[in-house]
Amino acid sequence: MSAAESGRQCRRILRGKYLRRRAGNTRRSSRWARSVEIATLRAIGFRASAVVTSVFAESILLATIGAAAGTAIALFAFDGKAVNSISSQYQPAQLVYQLSISNESIAFAVALAMLIGMLGGLLPAIRAATVPIASALRDG
C-alpha cells in the first residue's frame, strides 16, 4: 500500500468516526428534547397510553411523508427514462434500458416505509410511557 492510499484510507476512517459521533450527538439531543416534552404532557394530565399513541402516530406520519416524497422523486427522476450503456472497444454492443416503476414496487416501498416507521416508533413510544415524570423533568 502506498503512502497516498494509506492517507486516503486513514481520512475515510476518521471521517466515518466523526460522522458516527455527530449522529450520536444528534440522537442524544433529540431524545433529551423529546423526553422533556413527553414528561410535560404526562405532568399536565395526559395518560401514558395517549402519549404512546401520539408518539407512534407521529412516527407513522413521518414515514408516510418520507414514502410519498421518495415515490414522487423516483417517479419524476426515473419513470419512463432510457438508460444507455457505454460501449468499449472490447464490447462494441450498446444496450438501452427503459426504466419503469410499477404499482407493485410503489406499494412495496410504501409498505416497507410504514414497517420501518412502526418499528422505529415502537421503542420510543414505550419509553415515553415508562419514564418517570419527575426524573425526566429534572434531567431536562
* In the chain, domain spans: 3-139
Q: Express each pLDDT in 66-123 by its tens digit.
A: 899 988 988 888 877 777 777 666 666 667 777 788 889 889 988 988 888 888 778 7
Gap between the Cα atoms of 108 and 116, Å rounded: 12
d(CA 25, CA 139): 17
pLDDT grade for 18, boundaries at 50, 70 and 90: low
Residue 28 vs residue 65, higher pLDDT: 65
Instruction: Give the global pTM.
Output: 0.62
